[in-house]
Amino acid sequence: MQVTLQGKPFTFLPEKALYNIQESILIIADLHLGKVNHFRKEGISMPLNAQQGDYLNLKHLLDKVRPAKVYFLGDLFHSDYNYDWHHFEALIGSYTDIEFTLIKGNHDFVDVEKFERLGLHIVKELLEDEYFIYSHQPVSFEHDKLNIAGHIHPGIALSGRANQSARIPCFYLYDGLLLLPAFGTLTGYCIMDRIQEAQVFAVLPGEVREI
């Protein structure tokens, strides 16, 4: 779904990512890679292949969009180094023409050097240009730009006649802040308030729709 943010054209992708068309930047939040192994290391059983979907989804998306740049809005890796790193390394290594940037989140503990060796740019808190502020957590200072952020894992609860209801992930735009849905499959949602002024874009299989 095409939208205009700050006068610039963007696409809300049903793969749970945002695309800045003019600058060819693909923006992805909250992958939480390595979660399975992190849990297993603690003696908590989670099937090893449960994370495969994330790598496949990421690969499909990169192939489909072929962006010049990718911004990861934090929580790319769930906690410290574990074997998942090798899967990630292999994936990133096969897209040498894409420039990857990680804006660090509260779960990203993998050391900076390791990322840099992969050719990833590391940004500590935020990336700012004339129109946008890209960050993991929504920024707390005053600004007149659009803050594009992750961290929250927004979702929306729908309800209708005959007591029907469903919960789905969404993009959530309100008061100078655009929240991205979490990309990782091993994540949950935070159900957002339905305030009048907020714009909600629900992520459905194959399409994004404004509610």
- What residues make contact with another protein under the rule CB under 8 A? 35, 37-50, 53, 78-79, 82-83, 86, 107, 158-166, 168, 186-188, 202, 204-206, 209, 211
Shortest CA distance to 71 belongs to which of 98, 44, 47? 98
C-beta closer to another protein: residue 68 or 204 = 204
Nearer to another protein, 9 or 53 (CB): 53
Residue 144 beta carbon to another protein: minimum distance, rounded to whole angstroms: 29
Alpha helices in 52-149 (DSSP H): 52-65, 84-93, 112-117
Residue type, 193: D
Q: To the nearest whole angstrom, how small is the minimum distance from the Cβ of residue 68 to another protein?
A: 32
Taking the least distance from each CB to another protein, the nearer of 50 and 112 is: 50
Nearest approach in angstroms of CB 112 to another protein is 19
Shorter beta-carbon distance to another protein: residue 21 or 50: 50
Residue 59 identity (one-letter amino acid): K
Shortest distance, CB of residue 185 to another protein, whole angstroms? 8
Q: How far is the CB of 146 from another protein (least distance, A)?
A: 25
Contact 69, 24 (CB under 8 A): yes
The amino acid at 41: K
Closer residue to another protein (CB): 143 or 167:
167
> H or E stretch including 171?
strand 164-174
CA angle, corner 17, sides to 16 and 18, nearest 5? 135
Contact by Cβ (8 Å): 33, 76:
yes
